[in-house]
Amino acid sequence: MPISWIEMLLRMGASVFLGAAIGYERERIGRAAGLRTHLLVSLASATFMLVSTQFVYYQHYTKEDLVAVDTSRIAASVVTGVGFLGAGAILRTGLSIQGLTTAASLWLVSAVGLAAGAGMFAEAVTATIVTLFSLVILRRLEAKTKGPAQ
């Protein structure tokens, strides 16, 4: 069943807000993939989800046309594509590896965008809250348990 353009814009807006919330946290601590990157990944994911679930209603198929639509194919491609984007955020310098959390947050924000694009607002908001908890509160706990640098 097609959804209204207002509902589509609401879903896209939710993905922008939630992606920006996670991106702001990354930007605040000086990570390369910050506010704009996370916002764009989330919005792109939501848009891909909307296209994958709604494009059939914008075509002029008749009942006699044999059309099979698998809406999960585009979502699966988003997961793969953002995985490659995240891989580019990971840097290895000697024995040190940086960017894993940024890569994971980019991957997660694509899931938030897909959820918002699908109209699964409770899931998108919950994922955002848990992500912000892990990025802010758990970072502080890690810093306390590691103690002063030696």
> In the structure encoding, which two tokens stand for residue 66, read together?
């044999």
Q: By three-state DSSP, how is residue 93 classified? A: strand
pLDDT in tens, 42-97: 999 999 999 998 988 888 777 788 777 787 888 899 999 998 988 888 888 888 88
Q: Which is it for the CA torsion 106, 42, 141, 126, positive or negative?
A: negative
Contacts of 128 (CB under 8 A, 6+ apart): 18, 21, 22, 112
> Domain limits of the chain?
5-146
Q: Which residue has the higher pLDDT, 67 or 102?
A: 102
- Give the predicted TM-score (pTM) of the model: 0.85
